[in-house]
Structure 1
Amino acid sequence: MIIEQHNADLPTPTGLMRTTIYRPQAQGLFPALIFYSEIFQQTAPIARSAAILASHGFVVLVPEVFHELNPIGTVLAYDDAGKDKGNADKWAKPLEHHDSDTQAMIDFVKQQNYCTGTLGVMGVCIGGHLAYRAALNPEIKAAFCLYATDIHSNTLPAKAGNNSFERMADVQGEIHFIWGKQDPHVPQEGRTKIYQQCVNTGINYQWQEVNAQHAFMRDEGERYDAALAISMYQQAVALFNRTL
């Protein structure tokens, strides 16, 4: 489908959050996806991923995940300085603020005359964690989480009893976890810990471990695996078509 895009600055309890909307130009109502980026925010690869999803008939929202900590429109470079700043932002923002960001986007979607009101989530890297975290909200019907960092380690700031790993039983929708076997950010012992939690909580999940490195979806840089990325888009679209 031919798509269009525009920005919306959404009010949240922690300030305005620039969110880019990608959606079909066609008339009608479409289900919505929140697409959570890496620590670098909306880079060109993230924008292209959002466009791919939107062209399959979804309204895709890409929020600036660290909007409280940067001027509106900030995009960090894929270099050491960008990585250092993005990681500092990751450790500085409490998970509760991500939760209120997600709720702001849910509220926005339900007010739009081009949305059905049903929502799924997808993300890569820290965005994979945020997609999982969003799935703790009962409004989220499905989540596609790619190489989600920091779930196994419980290292992101949160109030006592509110870390992501321990709250897995709150997931009510269907959730897919995809991991790279060669990803040092989520080693085998970390993946095993998360897998066992899926089993113990009895959530509706699917699990894949693929021969790939961290950031294999990013179509920029030497870790990109185009064939695998195409397969992941197909699986995500199938999940969202079925559940939304």
Structure 2
Amino acid sequence: MIITQEVHDIATPSGLMRTTVYRPDQAGQFASVIFYSEIFQLTAPIARAAAILAGHGFVVLVPEVFHELNPIGTVLAYDDAGKDKGNQDKFTKPLEQHDTDTQALIDFARSQTYCSDRVGAMGVCIGGHLAFRAALNPDIKGAFCLYATDIHSNTLPCQTNNDSLSRAGDIKGELVMVFGKQDPHVSSEGRKLVYQQLEKVSANFSWLEVNAQHAFMRDEGDRYDPALALQMYLQAVAFFQRVLN
């Protein structure tokens, strides 16, 4: 399936949020997937991942997750300076602003003639957390969360009792949680904490732990695992085809 790409600046309560849209280049209405990036925003690997999803018949929206904290169009490099700035942004932006971003993205998608009313979420790293967080919104029918950070540790700023793990019982859609066993950012104990909470609240979720490091989906750098990445893309496509279509 051939895809097309366009850029929209979406109004949110905390400012304009540049969002790149990847979608099938043909007539019809397609389900939407909000794809939340790493701390580095719309890098080349994130763009390629979004294109893969769109090529399977989805409208994929990639927002600048820290739009309040950077000039529009900012992409951080995969180096120490980029990592430091991205982590600073991660620990600055309250989860409540991510919530209003998600609602703005849902509203935008549903206003487009090429989108159906079905919306899902997917993300990697902090984006995996944001996909999980997006699923607190009842309009998100499913979330595919890859090596989601900071859920277990409750280290992102938010109001009291509004952290993502404590609110897991509010998730009504289906979740897929994927973690690498060799990921230093989410320890075995941290993974167990998330799993136990999802079990406790009777969440509708699937769980997969693979032999991989953090960022094994990123097709740049020495942690990339092409075989596992392909497996995850296939599982994500099948998941969204089932829960959204």
Cα distance per residue 1:108-164 (max 9 Å; x no partner):
011000001100100000000000000000000000000000000001000011000
Give the corresponding residue for 2:140.
140
Do structure 1's residue 192 and structure 2's residue 229 form an aligned pair? no
In structure 2, the residue matched to 1:158 is 158
The unaligned stretches of length 5 or more in structure 2 are: none
| Aligned equivalent of 2:172 | 172
Q: Secondary structure at the match of 1:212?
A: coil
The yes-or-no answer on 1:38 pairing with 2:33 is no
Counterpart of 1:110 in structure 2 is 110
Query: How far does the alpha carbon of each residue in 1:164-217 deviate from its partner, in whole angstroms, 9 at most, with x for none?
Result: 010000010000000000000000000000010011000100000000000000
Match of 2:26 in 1: 26
Provide the C-alpha distance between the structure 2 equivalents of 1:134 and 1:104, rounded to a whole number of angstroms: 11
**2:17 maps to which residue?**
17
Which residue pairs with 1:64 in the alignment? 64
Distance 1:117 1:16 in 2: 23
For 1:174 and 1:36, locate their aligned partners in 2 and report how far apart those are by CA, in whole Å. 17
User: CA offset at residue 20 of structure 1?
Assistant: 0.1
Which runs of 5 or more structure 1 residues have no equivalent in the other structure? Answer: none
Measured after TM superposition, the shift of residue 232 of structure 1 is: 0.2
Q: State the Cα deviation string for residues 71-104 of structure 1 (Å, max 9, x = none).
A: 0000000000000000000000000000000000
The percentage of aligned residue pairs carrying the same residue is 70
- AA paired with 1:29? Q
* Structure 2: distance between partners of 1:200 and 1:15: 37
> Counterpart of 2:8 in structure 1: which amino acid?
A
Q: Which residue of 2 aligns with 1:226?
A: 226
**Mapped partners of 1:143, 1:119: distance in 2:** 9
Q: Which amino acid aligns with 2:168?
A: M
Distance 1:243 1:130 in 2: 19
Partner SS state of residue 88, structure 1? helix
TM-score, normalization: structure 1? 1.00
Secondary structure, counterpart of 1:137 in structure 2? coil
Alignment partners' CA distance in 2, 1:231 and 1:53: 13
TM-score, with length taken from structure 2: 0.99
Please state how far the C-alpha of 1:46 moved relative to its aligned partner: 0.1
- Secondary structure of the residue aligned to 2:167 is helix
Structure 2 CA distance for aligned equivalents of residues 161 and 211 of structure 1: 33
Matched, 1:213 2:213: yes
Distance 2:38 2:121 in 1: 14
Count residues with an aligned counterpart.
244
Q: Quick one: which amino acid aligns to residue 80 of structure 1?
A: D
Matched to 2:171, the amino acid is: V
